[in-house]
């Protein structure tokens, strides 16, 4: 697949729009990968991405940052798209501001294209093999919409994270237990899932995170935080309450069991930490 815009296509475009159009080409053309037995959908399938480049353009990708997965998982990309459109409606925006917002809008549209391609393939596979039905059930509505349960929340977080990786951006994951914990707590109370099933989903998340192993920047991975997909556990929320929950302990269980170090993990400790 060719992700580069021609010089003619790039003429008179800002850097923001060149990037956004490149991201859209990636979403439209990057190869899909669904492996039998996986419980999560989405893969960063381009080697340039693992080398910290934006496939198809000269821009270096972004790392050493943790983007707002927490907000987008909770609200869905539909809400994000709506926020951009509302901002664009401001008649006092400068040309540069409008251009930047239009580029943002195109990047969200690219995520939707990537999701629809994955969904179509998953639907085709599930019509031939019932084993894909369960995955299809919790992939259809997220990340477009807010998750309704723990399975959808894990899938939404993985999809958003892997799409950033596909575009070459190495973002930290942030406070995974704070993001996912409330969904698991609700599901456990309603007997919709048990801890073993939740642990298995998180293990799939960890295993899929090794998809770039051996293909990092330079000659293989450096050990320098691998691809910067840092995870934070524990600590307090904005009201000072401890946020340690079942997801905290399940992630620690998965790390201990699988010995996968591709996610550098830090634990926040405070006087009332359990």
Express each pLDDT in 78-96 by its tens digit.
999 999 999 999 999 999 9
Q: What does the DSSP assignment read for 222-239?
A: -SSSTT---EEEE-B-TT
Which whole number is the average pLDDT over 10-29?
89
Assess contact for 100 and 16: CB atoms under 8 A. Answer: yes
Q: pLDDT class for 1, splitting at 50, 70, 90?
A: low
Assess contact for 100 and 20: CB atoms under 8 A. Answer: no
Express each pLDDT in 139-153 by its tens digit.
999 999 999 999 999
Q: Which phi and psi angles does 119 have, rounded to 5°?
A: -65, -45
For residues 57-93, one letter each, b for 16 or more C-beta atoms within 10 angstroms of the residue's C-beta and e for the rest, the string is beeebbbeebbebbebbbbbbeebbeebeeeeeeeee
Give me the chain's average pLDDT, please.
Answer: 90
- Say if residue 220's pLDDT is above 60: no
Which whole number is the average pLDDT over 179-191?
98
Whole-number Å distance between alpha carbons of 85 and 94? 15
| Residue 181 CB neighbours (<10 A) | 20
Which whole number is the average pLDDT over 155-179?
95
pTM for this entry:
0.93
Express each pLDDT in 232-248 by its tens digit.
999 999 999 999 999 99
Q: pLDDT class for 27, splitting at 50, 70, 90?
A: very high
- Asked which of 108-112, 200-204, 257-261 is least confident by mean pLDDT, the reply is 257-261
For residues 186-204, one letter each, b for 16 or more C-beta atoms within 10 angstroms of the residue's C-beta and e for the rest, the string is ebeeeeebeeeebbebbbb
Is 245 buried (19+), middle (13-18) or exposed (0-12) by CB count in 10 A? middle
Which whole number is the average pLDDT over 23-39?
93
């Amino acid at each position: 697949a060719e992700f580069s815009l021609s010089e003619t296509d790039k003429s008179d475009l800002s850097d923001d729009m060149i990037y956004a159009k490149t991201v859209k080409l990636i979403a439209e053309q990057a190869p899909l990968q669904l492996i039998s037995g996986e419980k999560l959908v989405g893969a960063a399938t381009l080697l340039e991405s693992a080398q910290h480049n934006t496939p198809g353009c000269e821009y270096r990708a972004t790392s050493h940052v943790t983007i707002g997965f927490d907000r987008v998982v909770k609200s869905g990309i539909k809400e994000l798209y709506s926020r951009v459109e509302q901002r664009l409606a401001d008649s006092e925006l400068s040309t540069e501001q409008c251009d930047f917002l239009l580029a943002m809008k195109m990047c969200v549209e690219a995520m939707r294209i990537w999701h629809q391609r994955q969904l179509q393939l998953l639907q085709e596979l599930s019509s031939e093999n019932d084993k894909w039905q369960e995955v299809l059930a919790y992939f259809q509505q997220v990340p477009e919409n807010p998750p309704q349960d723990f399975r959808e929340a894990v899938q939404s977080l993985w999809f958003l994270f892997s799409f950033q990786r596909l575009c070459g951006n190495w973002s930290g994951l942030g406070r995974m237990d704070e993001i996912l914990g409330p969904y698991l707590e609700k599901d456990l109370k309603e007997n919709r899932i048990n801890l073993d099933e939740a642990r298995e989903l998180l293990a799939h998340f960890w295993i899929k995170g090794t998809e770039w192993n051996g293909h990092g920047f330079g000659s293989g991975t450096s050990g320098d935080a691998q691809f910067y997909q840092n995870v934070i556990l524990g600590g307090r929320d904005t009201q000072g309450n401890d946020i340690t929950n079942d997801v905290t302990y399940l992630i620690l269980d998965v790390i201990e069991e699988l010995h996968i170090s591709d996610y550098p993990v830090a634990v926040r400790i405070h006087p009332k930490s359990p």
